[in-house]
Amino acid sequence: MNALNFALAISETVMAIALAPLLLGLVDQCRAWLQNRRGAGLLQPYRTLR
């Protein structure tokens, strides 16, 4: 594995970890929309991490 492949693997891992709460927020928004109610914001999972 050369340095470029290693850097790409690290960056993909960091992006996946950073974007996981956004995907969770999107799923929650869709679930609320399907139940005809208003859900929390897309960024709410980031606020509840701490």
Chain segment 4-50, per-residue pLDDT in tens: 999 999 999 999 999 999 999 999 999 999 999 999 999 999 999 87
Q: Look up the pTM and report it.
A: 0.77
pLDDT at 50: 79
Domain assignment present for residue 49? The answer is yes
- Euclidean distance between the first and final Cα of the chain, in Å? 36
Domain assignment present for residue 30? The answer is yes
Total count of domains within the chain: 1
| Contacts with 1 (C-beta within 8 Å, 6 or more apart), sequence order | 9
> Band of the pLDDT at 1, cuts 50, 70, 90?
confident
**Residue 25, token pair as written in the block:** 């927020």
Domain assignment present for residue 47? The answer is yes
